């Protein structure tokens, strides 16, 4: 009986620790101890004990300058490893590699994360001038082709607060109101792809992205091409766009979409 109680207590402790970790995950920013304790509905002394263990494990880190806690170095590879084991992502990884070979451009695969589109893998082109894309990075909904793509097809109640936040932050000089954003998103839906100049990366970067839908006909991934202005042809009649659309449609069919 004692062994069973110890075992049960151990599992319960793990669940509490995961609850503390989830507070940081959902916050989208670093937090003070008292903020974490309040969100986890526990005394600060108890929250601190769990945070100490989470810091030791690498899942959480503490900034010595301001004492705030945030996700640690182990959190990103752990999350990406889980995503990478999904069949849809494995299919997408093969596709962006082939797309890179066909276009000789930087290609990327993104999925929807907790706070927006997350880049899970990218492929470098076979030329000296490239655009470096950060794996694990959450990209802007307004300032990137991938972000606008998800904004166009994700549920409005999910997207709206994130768009409002980016508007308040001034993430894109192109937009001042949600009405302006919706006009662009309607165009994205109509064309079936998104094109952005002056993205998150640099003023000379061009972004082109197309959606991948699942068997419920919901957007599940984005396949993207990232080029350099003056070097890359990502226009409406380009090989890059034709191949991007072909691959995204093929992936959607593989995942059971009827769109």
Beta strand pairing call for 219-228 and 205-213: antiparallel
Phi and psi angles of residue 23, each rounded to the nearest 5 degrees, phi first: -60, -45
Buried b (16+ CB within 10 A) or exposed e, 226-235: bbbeeebebe
The answer to whether the beta carbons of residues 54 and 17 sit under 8 Å apart is: yes
- Alpha helices by DSSP H, listed for the chain, are 2-27, 33-40, 44-57, 75-84, 87-103, 145-153, 156-169, 178-191, 239-254
pLDDT score of 203: 66
DSSP label at 137? P
This prediction has a pTM of 0.65
pLDDT score of 84: 54
For residue 234, give the nearest of 115, 119, 103 by alpha carbon: 103
Q: Splitting the chain (259 residues) into consecutive groups of 10 residues, what average pLDDT does each group show? A: 46 85 87 95 94 93 93 82 66 89 93 89 80 80 94 95 90 87 96 83 82 92 91 91 96 86
pLDDT score of 1: 42
All structural domains of the chain:
2-73 (1.10.10.10), 78-254 (3.30.450.40)
């Amino acid at each position: 009986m004692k062994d069973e109680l110890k075992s049960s207590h151990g599992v319960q402790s793990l669940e509490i620790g995961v609850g503390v970790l989830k507070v940081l995950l959902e916050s989208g920013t670093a937090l003070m101890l008292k903020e974490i304790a309040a969100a986890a509905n526990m005394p600060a002394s108890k929250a601190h004990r769990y945070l100490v263990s989470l810091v030791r494990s690498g899942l959480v880190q503490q900034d010595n300058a301001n004492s705030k806690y945030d996700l640690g170095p182990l959190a990103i590879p752990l999350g990406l490893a889980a995503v990478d084991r999904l069949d849809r992502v494995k299919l997408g990884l093969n596709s962006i590699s082939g797309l890179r070979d066909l276009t000789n451009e930087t290609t990327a695969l993104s999925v929807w994360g907790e706070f927006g589109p997350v880049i899970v893998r990218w492929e470098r082109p076979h030329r000296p001038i490239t655009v470096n894309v950060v794996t694990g990075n959450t990209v802007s909904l307004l300032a990137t082709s991938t972000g606008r793509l998800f904004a166009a097809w994700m549920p409005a109640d999910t997207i709206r607060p994130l768009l409002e936040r980016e508007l308040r932050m001034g993430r894109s000089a192109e937009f001042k109101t949600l009405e302006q954003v919706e006009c662009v998103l309607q165009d994205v839906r109509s064309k079936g792809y998104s094109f952005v100049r002056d993205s998150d990366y640099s003023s000379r970067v061009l972004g082109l992205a197309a959606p991948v839908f699942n068997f419920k006909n919901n957007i599940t991934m984005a396949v993207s091409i990232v080029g350099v202005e003056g070097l890359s042809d990502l226009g409406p009649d380009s090989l890059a766009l034709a191949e991007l659309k072909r691959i995204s449609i093929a992936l959607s069919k593989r995942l059971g979409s009827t769109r």
